[in-house]
Amino acid sequence: MILSDKAIKQYMSEGKLKISPLEDNQIQPASVDLKLGRHYLRLNENYFGTMTMTDEIEYAQIEADEIIIPSNSFLLATTMEYIKLPNNLTAFVEGRSSVGRMGLFIQNAGWVDPGFEGEITLELYNANRLPIKLEAGRRICQLVFAAMDDEAENPYCGKYQKQRKATGSRIFQDTENGRKDK
């Protein structure tokens, strides 16, 4: 069941769902708009090797109020908001339609597990032929919350728990690479 604005406000007033900072106008009929933060990661363009799923990936960090994402370019960004989901809610990250109509694709693997806590890292791709200027503090995506039939037996406690700022891929820490964490 997708949560309505009324249910979202109730979860928040009861302290079960936390989103901070949050302004009233960010709560939509069936979602919460999230704003673009100031921290970005760009793949290290001076690296000429091949990315693998077993080696740590190098990123260049950028802190800025504005950034331009060139045509056909990829960038990691963060939300301003820190969220904390209870063990019986999951969330989907969706790009705002107005942003998508500019040719900016927004993803975060699309899913936030119950029990997750942290800022959301967004994967941004400019599919347009023109550069796009991004500004911190602008609404960029939305979270759609769904109530689960029961609390998760094993809520999220993986390698991105309590992340702050844009966080690069930690796939090299996967169990397939001999790691014991999720």
Q: What is the DSSP letter of 3?
A: P
Q: What is the DSSP string of 67-134?
A: EEE-TT-EEEEEEEEEEE--TTEEEEEEE-HHHHTTTEEEESTTEE-TT-EEEEEEEEEE-SSS-EEE
Contact yes or no for 99/106 (Cβ under 8 A): yes
Q: Looking at the annotation, which residues are catalytic?
A: 123
Contact yes or no for 166/134 (Cβ under 8 A): no
Q: What is the DSSP letter of 14?
A: T
